Amino acid sequence: MKMEMAPDAMREDARHGNVFLPVNNYHSLVPVTYRELALHWHEEMEITLIVDGTSDYRVGQEMFRTKKGDIILVPPYCVHSACEIPGKTMISDSLVFHPDFLGAKTQDLSASRYLRPMAEGQLPVRTKICEGDPGYDEIKAAFLNALDCFETKPRFFELQLKEDLLHVILLLFLHGYVGESESNQGSSVNRSRFKTVLEYIAAHYTEKITVSELARLIGFSESHFMNLFRQYVGMSCIQYINHYRIQEAARSLEETEDSVADIALRHGFDNISYFNLQFRRSFGMTPREFRKMQSRL
């Protein structure tokens, strides 16, 4: 798959490491750590090993169910999400790291041909590697070495961690899980235009927004706009607007005691029944059930 854009409206606020060591690890137990990890993106690359169990993932336009042993690749600037399967658990370990840590900004050939295009989200990436796939054992071992280095921090671990992560990236290229650059000037222009669209939605999601006005915003016809929006974001424009509104409404349900009707109206829904329908589709429960569940956590 090829990742074309970074939707600012869903950019994750969390910092992964710091400016001196832009790397972090995450151990997740679903549904304890989270029940739904909402659609988001970040500048870092993310590699996750499913240690046990199963859950549903979405990376870009791909939706799939994980199993024990799967390795999930999330390239920079790629929207992704995860959610529990009712009655099932999932344990995972992730490393999230900025390509700059590996030298993506340097001027040598490895940076210009491989690391920088990867850092800019311009490379086609296969998002799931399963046991038995080419290079699986090597990639898993290299990932676990990097994870162990980060967790135990032996002497000179910063150098060792960089070497381990570069080894993982090398294996991904060698076995074809990260491809050569397919970027071109046209796709860069479109990526910039759709950033404008998603920033506009984030600023005006409480108001009435039409596809026609968004298309006019970047000078596209409606049909061309709708086709490209689905291509870049992985869902239709209306689905994305509803998703964004529902996520913000869920935040208000969790953080305030305002009525469901007030929250629905404040987040762009003038029909409470439609709000309840969209909320149930996203969370598998009504807004009131969601609020009760959050209060017990």
Which amino acid is present at 267?
A: H
Give, in order, the Cα–Cα distances in Å from 98 to each of 22, 77, 176, 222, 274: 6, 11, 21, 36, 40
CATH number of domain containing 201: 1.10.10.60
Query: Is residue 2 included in any domain, yes or no?
Result: no
What is the reported pLDDT for 6?
A: 45
Query: Is residue 267 included in any domain, yes or no?
Result: yes
Task: State how many domains the chain has.
Answer: 2
244, 269: one domain: yes
Query: Is residue 218 included in any domain, yes or no?
Result: yes
15, 109: one domain: yes
Domain boundary pick from 174, 197, 225: 174
User: Across 41-111, where does the E strand assignment appear?
Assistant: 45-53, 56-59, 62-65, 71-74, 80-83, 90-97
Alpha-carbon Rg for the chain in angstroms: 20
Domain boundary pick from 174, 209, 228: 174
CATH number of domain containing 169: 2.60.120.280
16, 153: one domain: yes
What is the torsional sign of CA 81, 128, 112, 145?
positive
Give yes or no for a contact between 58 and 127, defined as CB atoms under 8 angstroms apart: no
152, 288: one domain: no
291, 166: one domain: no
What is the reported pLDDT for 230?
A: 81
What is the reported pLDDT for 77?
A: 81
Contacts of 116 (CB under 8 A, 6+ apart): 99, 104, 105
Alpha-carbon distance 77 to 274, whole Å? 31
What is the reported pLDDT for 4?
A: 45
What end-to-end distance do the CA atoms of the chain give, in Å? 37
Query: Is residue 180 included in any domain, yes or no?
Result: no
14, 121: one domain: yes
What is the reported pLDDT for 296?
A: 65
User: Across the chain, where does the E strand assignment appear?
Assistant: 23-30, 36-40, 45-53, 56-59, 62-65, 71-74, 80-83, 90-97, 128-129
What is the reported pLDDT for 187?
A: 57
74, 208: one domain: no
What is the reported pLDDT for 131?
A: 97
What is the mean pLDDT for each group of 10 consecutive residues in the chain (297 residues)?
Answer: 48 63 94 82 92 94 94 90 91 96 89 88 90 97 98 96 97 93 56 79 92 93 89 81 89 91 95 92 87 75
Cis amide leading into 31 (omega within 30): yes
Query: Is residue 152 included in any domain, yes or no?
Result: yes
291, 256: one domain: yes
Supply the range of the domain harboring residue 219: 185-296
51, 158: one domain: yes
129, 253: one domain: no
Domain boundary pick from 174, 198, 228: 174
Give yes or no for a contact between 21 and 101, defined as CB atoms under 8 angstroms apart: yes
43, 169: one domain: yes
142, 114: one domain: yes
Contacts of 215 (CB under 8 A, 6+ apart): 221, 222, 224, 225, 226
